[in-house]
């Protein structure tokens, strides 16, 4: 079977990462969480008080940042920023509140997209994000675009934060998701949008297992097809 690129894009808190991770495990592919990369950049910018309106400062900071992923003892991929494990920190609310502004900066996008292309050039990857099927790998063999009802997304995100001992009220989460949807879909540089050839997956009423089954089924169909067919 041939190695392909599975691009999973869509709104926050629709189950993209969970689906992508599990699909990668089943297919024996590498999982790349591109949202984690933008979150790591945001953490660095916050800690070093980088001014987002100063392009020189932004570029200087980007030159100092090295992001990588390592698989932990339980087989889970974790994010490293300049050699330090930041997996927990990048999921905190303070990062969610700033990440859309940081990831809208063209210099940040160029740096991350270059790195993502290098990571996926051997194919055999599942990448999740906002612009994977449109900008990073427009030639991905499988593109999935995920969405879900706002309230369902907000409860899922609240549960995830709670599992990390962070209690955030539902209205604050809805407000954050709305704001991020707005910034992510209206920014000039590679906005969040569905690629013309992406398969749409509404996850409001389906379980994670059902989501994974569907994406794996679609991927296997592509992996056994002749390369010139979509
Ligand atoms: O998937 P996530 O919620 O962890 O992503 C965090 C933010 O990163 C999201 O609000 C927008 C940005 N992002 C992006 O601009 N492009 C990507 N490919 C992935 C994420």
Q: Tell me how many degrees the CA angle 59-65-71 measures, rounded to the nearest 5.
A: 150
What local confidence, expressed as pLDDT, does residue 1 receive? 86
CATH class of the domain defined by 5-224: alpha beta
**pLDDT averaged per 10 residues in sequence order, the chain, 230 residues:** 95 93 96 97 98 97 96 92 97 93 96 96 96 97 97 95 93 95 91 96 95 97 76
Instruction: Show me where the domains of the chain are located.
Output: 5-224
Q: Which atom of ligand 1 is nearest to the CA of 103?
A: 15
DSSP 127: E
CA of 38 to the centre of ligand 1 (A): 6
Tokens of 205: 């009423």
DSSP 89: G
What local confidence, expressed as pLDDT, does residue 230 receive? 53
User: Residue 8: which H helix or E strand, with range?
Assistant: strand 5-10
Residue 12 Cβ inside 6 Å of ligand 1? The answer reads yes
- Global pTM value: 0.92
* CB 147 within 8 Å of CB 16: no
Residue 15 Cβ inside 6 Å of ligand 1? The answer reads no
Strand 125-129 and strand 30-33: the pairing is parallel
Cα–Cα distance measured from residue 115 to residue 195, given in angstroms and rounded to the nearest whole number:
21
What local confidence, expressed as pLDDT, does residue 112 receive? 97
What local confidence, expressed as pLDDT, does residue 54 receive? 97
């Amino acid at each position: 079977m041939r190695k392909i690129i599975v691009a999973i894009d869509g709104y926050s808190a629709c189950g993209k990462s969970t689906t992508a991770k599990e699909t990668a495990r089943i297919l024996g592919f590498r999982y790349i969480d591109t949202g984690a990369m933008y979150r790591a950049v945001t953490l660095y910018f916050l800690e070093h008080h980088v001014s987002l309106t100063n392009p020189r400062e932004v570029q200087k900071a980007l030159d100092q940042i090295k992001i990588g992923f390592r698989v932990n003892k339980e087989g889970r991929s974790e994010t490293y920023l300049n050699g330090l494990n930041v997996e927990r920190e990048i999921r905190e609310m303070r990062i969610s509140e700033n990440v859309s502004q940081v990831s809208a900066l063209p210099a940040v996008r160029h740096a991350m997209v270059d790195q993502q292309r290098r990571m996926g050039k051997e194919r055999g990857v599942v990448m999740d994000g906002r612009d994977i099927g449109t900008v990073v790998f427009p030639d991905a063999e499988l593109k999935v675009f995920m969405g879900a009802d706002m309230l369902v997304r907000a409860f899922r995100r609240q549960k995830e934060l709670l599992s990390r001992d962070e209690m955030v009220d539902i209205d604050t989460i809805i407000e954050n998701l709305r704001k991020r949807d707005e910034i992510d879909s209206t920014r000039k540089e590679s906005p969040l949008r569905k690629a013309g050839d992406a398969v749409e997956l509404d996850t409001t009423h389906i379980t994670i297992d059902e989501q994974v089954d569907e994406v794996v089924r679609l991927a296997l169909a592509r992996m056994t097809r002749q390369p010139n067919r979509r």
